[in-house]
Chain A
């Protein structure tokens, strides 16, 4: 019997060995788990590329929706917002959650790249870091320009519009540390100028704007697209296909949204024209009218030198500039030129003074926030004409009349 026992034991041993073949496979995972991603080859390069892809979509969405808020665009027959045209905005709207999710995404993607991926990927370069920094800075600037208040980071402290501009400045300092080319340095300066403008700091805004012009006189940084892969410029589609109507006096500017089979037209996020406009605005506020006219003339010649109508197209002529002689006329002209320069770039509604609320989910989750964060800030002069923010109102004139509540520089 002993030898049979041995045989049985051996048999059991063999059979146990086969358990391996019978046990279920490790779960085959088709996804890339976040924690594994950072350690993969070229993770930082891929992440930066992804951030830029999402950045394009973010800018396009802002241009589309804030364009509707303003007098620039009107939703004719597209599937975009029907309520933004008449300033019918509630903090529970899907448009609000969409815009604030884009901002949150840009900040979080930049942070993930700069903290986690950069640390794990040795092939990270300064240029990649710079790319993420400026995306993050622009996200804060978008937040500051368009919202009453938003969190600093995922479920983080909620900052007001001015605090968000200050946050952008600190990010720009970090960006400056890794800026190498003159384009990069000019970009930092221009964005700082924009931030200082929002804070009402005329002196700093002036310095930075001048630095930007001296560093790169044709600065142009754009958000880019790739329609075939699903990253398309929605404003280009809606304007070129006439699903959006354009304010009649801006008809010439519509050339920035050309018709095309693929909607890949880049959108400028920082161009040197802005520096000239900021300088002009400061001079008008300081009642230095001839200097202001000088800056506006510089603007016109910059646009001429650039010679790319899809980047900037102006209808205002040198004659119009020469004909403006009072402070009010020049204010109006600055605002008209801002409108024309930034057409389809999503800057107009901020100029008009509209500030959007936080989204309901964010507001409720954060808790203990002032009621004003949940409400749209609509300046008094707009309140009575909500449904007529189009050709029926001469918006720049109205803005000039309301200037003491509206323009950043005293």
Chain B
């Protein structure tokens, strides 16, 4: 076998890149497979310069020409990663992005950011495209379900943040061919007012050009709750169960010279790890992709995806009333002292002989309960989940249609049209049986059911053309295009109170109330890009985008976003070519502007219509701002990517500096105007840091390949100017307890609360509104190890962060309820009036519970190993069977951290839909469970 021919073939056809788990081969031909194994990574250029990418370039451009780094992942790399949701998939796979899931509840929102937070107003989640179609990436609670008081449809609001279901969690994941990611900055300039947070592009399989192939796979295993952070020993047994997880997948593809198709389908079911299957989830995903060569010049591609998902939520701590984890862990289900006046605590209650409500249990400490009480509590915990229900039903459809036209050599034109439709129905009911079992009837008289419905429709249309010109010394790629997208989000909420148990609709409720909300905007623009290459090693990249968004104020017109960049392939120079230990060295630098549009309609001066004394009433609503425009992130980047020693070592380092100008802030208006604040482009936010990626094949022989890779990202985030806005909260609770706030001169979303200090003279100093620490880490990254021995593959991956902090409301509430908290010294409490024997601990702690907030803020540094797994591939074990792969994986095996609560599971707590979130509050949040999964896949 001619190795050089094969290596060229692999180079031209491959999509391998930075983080390649090994043992990944096409598996169709043993000989080819062996040959490939010999070539190993000699053939696979870790920074494959010939690989083409699309994101941020308008059309396909080879990586060598890029003045920035695009991270790519191919289907082989995605194979072993947990495939429940895209953000979880990317947690350890993208070296420069941080992804923290806010809780273990199904569909929970996540915190995603790369290069810090560029906005103190809008969420940092990157834009997501699937086959060129922009999809719903809402990663916060929705407008009608976002009630920061955790309203539980008893009084002011509808359900709280448990309804924060992320739209990212149900993007269909079958049939993914490739994922590209670019961080916001020059690389996303061509997206205009949309992508300052970066872009993730998913490309799905469209079929092969060979014969029919199919794979059937199954994953089965158990899920066990992560109870590492629980304070009491008995908590796990009371509220958790071991759940069964099962997933079945089918993929098929086929094709010929003329065209091909590819189908991927899966269904999965999880019992969940909360008793009474309170976190049960069922998913059905389907994707079909096709490509067809109409003739020499025209190619048609299509992709169709659907996801159907049903899930249940266990009661979250911030919903109020009884909720398993909160009540047990915070000692809330009964308290030692019978003093009343604590209206916000709801112990489990029953009626006594005189018809008076009395607490059932007499202690805050579940570990101290006697066995009969324990059995009763266990039944109550079960009923507490079983008799109330909170379910989500999601139906999602996506399609992308594209036509490519190549009339003559060097010219490609492409048009894409597609949509993403997502329907979400959330039903939340509190039954009479639940109210009686928990004794919450004492507080809440009536049963209820709330329906929340959200319809999202996103449309995308784009057309682009590019022309390649090449001669001996000059190559040029000129691209131009037009892009349009619109988003239509419509929500309605209906509440029925006093409803019979067992009813599935609110039609029988005694009283009904409703609300509605909608948002619509569209965005369109032109772009042009010129990429010039000299002597195949000096590249100059110039681009510009003109953009308009319907959310801009009346005085704001088209916005312009320029970019310029250079790329220099040092390794192509004659002096470098002779260095055989240096395979590739590419230097690059760029400057560009990317934008983030304001919320729809925020520029208008509006009137609020409500009801007052049975008649319509109108008052001032939004002050508006005719000058409202997008935030603009000016970023500069310089760095290099390189590979050494036969591509065994790859190293990339770059420095970035990004300044968000015209940052959106709610600036307070002078009170004489009569309205609170107005959204203005008034501030400046700075982010700077270094991104480093390293990959090394420690051992690389015919039979062995040990590949270790990691990344390190630093970030310094600072609000340079808040444009006159005073300190404001973006998350948390009240100013007397704890909030994450934004102030000029500090990092976005630092924790603010009271600090108690024990002075040398024995007195206690209490200072309010102190900076208790940042919630954004200043250093984070990923780690992965892959070991391959012949057909056996062992892998592990994880991610880490350092420098951030988290506040544990659970610990603070345990303190309030009189439990001894390890890190609060008794000397301090005695200085506050506690007796030496601790006899009045409960009273002192209750009276001072908001004064010692600093003792409940912990460093949230962690290293989480997300996956450890092993698999073995049998090649051609039987006739007609190409490959059988057996594997065993453990997901979320362990964490290394000093933090007493889960440093990652933090309520994201946003002010409005789509608002900025930095996490930082641990409030009875469930951790992601451990999964022990065995898998079998058979390929034909």
Of B618, B620, B624, chain A has the most CB atoms within 10 Å of the CB of B618
Distance between Cα atoms of A227 and B671 in the complex (Å): 25
Contact B618 A359 (CB under 8 A): no
Q: Which residues of B contact A30 (CB under 8 A)?
A: 517-519, 601
Cβ of A33 under 8 Å from chain B = yes
Distance between Cα atoms of A47 and B488 in the complex (Å): 31
Contact A109 B612 (CB under 8 A): no
Contact B612 A49 (CB under 8 A): yes
Distance between Cα atoms of A24 and B550 in the complex (Å): 11
Q: In angstroms, how far is the closest chain B Cβ from the Cβ of A306?
A: 23
Cβ of B824 under 8 Å from chain A = no
Cβ of B819 under 8 Å from chain A = no
Distance between Cα atoms of A162 and B521 in the complex (Å): 50
Contact B618 A50 (CB under 8 A): yes
Contact A79 B609 (CB under 8 A): no
Tell me the A230-277 residues at the B interface (CB within 8 Å): 230-231
Contact B610 A34 (CB under 8 A): no
Interface string of A36-52 (1 = CB under 8 A from B): 01000011011101111
Contact B673 A155 (CB under 8 A): yes
Contact A24 B524 (CB under 8 A): yes
Cβ of A100 under 8 Å from chain B = yes
Identify the closest chain A residue to B461 (Cβ).
A22
Distance between Cα atoms of A79 and B615 in the complex (Å): 31
Cβ of B668 under 8 Å from chain A = yes
Cβ of A224 under 8 Å from chain B = yes
Contact B673 A154 (CB under 8 A): yes
Contact B522 A24 (CB under 8 A): yes
Contact A361 B607 (CB under 8 A): no
Q: In angstroms, how far is the closest chain B Cβ from the Cβ of A18?
A: 14
Identify the closest chain B residue to A49 (Cβ).
B617
Contact B671 A103 (CB under 8 A): yes
Q: Which residues of B contact A361 (CB under 8 A)?
A: 668-671, 724, 726
Identify the closest chain B residue to A96 (Cβ).
B671
Contact B606 A31 (CB under 8 A): yes
Cβ of A191 under 8 Å from chain B = no
Q: In angstroms, how far is the closest chain B Cβ from the Cβ of A267?
A: 15
Of B341, B521, B612, chain A has the most CB atoms within 10 Å of the CB of B612
Identify the closest chain A residue to B611 (Cβ).
A229
Query: With A27-B521, A37-B607, A101-B676 given, is the CB distance from A50 to B619 under 8 Å?
Result: yes
Q: Which residues of A contact B644 (CB under 8 A)?
A: none
Identify the closest chain A residue to B488 (Cβ).
A28
Q: Which residues of B contact A224 (CB under 8 A)?
A: 613
Of B522, B606, B734, chain A has the most CB atoms within 10 Å of the CB of B606
Q: In angstroms, how far is the closest chain A Cβ from the Cβ of B344?
A: 11
Given B341, B600, B606, B612, which contacts A50 in the complex, CB threshold below 8 Å?
Answer: B612
Query: With A31-B604, A47-B618 given, is the CB distance from A24 to B486 under 8 Å?
Result: yes
Cβ of A160 under 8 Å from chain B = no
Q: In angstroms, how far is the closest chain B Cβ from the Cβ of A81?
A: 12
Given A42, A226, A366, which contacts B670 in the complex, CB threshold below 8 Å?
Answer: A366
Distance between Cα atoms of A105 and B675 in the complex (Å): 7
Cβ of A108 under 8 Å from chain B = yes
Distance between Cα atoms of A359 and B726 in the complex (Å): 13
Contact B606 A362 (CB under 8 A): no
Q: In angstroms, how far is the closest chain A Cβ from the Cβ of B104?
A: 32
Cβ of B672 under 8 Å from chain A = yes
Contact B618 A49 (CB under 8 A): yes
Cβ of A32 under 8 Å from chain B = yes
Contact B673 A46 (CB under 8 A): no
Contact A106 B673 (CB under 8 A): no
Distance between Cα atoms of A61 and B612 in the complex (Å): 18
Cβ of B621 under 8 Å from chain A = yes
Contact B734 A79 (CB under 8 A): yes
Q: In angstroms, how far is the closest chain A Cβ from the Cβ of B205?
A: 29
Query: With A24-B484, A79-B734 given, is the CB distance from A46 to B674 under 8 Å?
Result: no
Q: Which residues of A contact B577 (CB under 8 A)?
A: none
Interface string of B319-355 (1 = CB under 8 A from A): 0000000000000000000000100000000000000
Q: In angstroms, how far is the closest chain B Cβ from the Cβ of A228?
A: 9
Cβ of B421 under 8 Å from chain A = no
Cβ of B605 under 8 Å from chain A = yes
Q: Which residues of A contact B600 (CB under 8 A)?
A: 27
Cβ of A354 under 8 Å from chain B = no
Cβ of A120 under 8 Å from chain B = no
Contact B671 A31 (CB under 8 A): no
Q: Which residues of B contact A205 (CB under 8 A)?
A: none
Tell me the B514-534 residues at the A interface (CB within 8 Å): 517-522, 524
Q: In angstroms, how far is the closest chain A Cβ from the Cβ of B690?
A: 39
Distance between Cα atoms of A45 and B610 in the complex (Å): 13
Q: List 8 A-B contacts (CB under 8 A).
A: A24-B522, A31-B604, A31-B622, A32-B609, A34-B606, A43-B618, A54-B619, A97-B671
Known: A24-B524, A25-B522. 11 other contacts (CB 8 A): A31-B604, A31-B606, A34-B620, A53-B612, A79-B734, A101-B675, A104-B671, A151-B670, A229-B610, A361-B668, A361-B724
| Interchain residue pairs A-B with the least CB separation, the first 9 | A105-B674, A100-B671, A104-B674, A50-B617, A53-B612, A108-B674, A101-B671, A151-B672, A49-B617
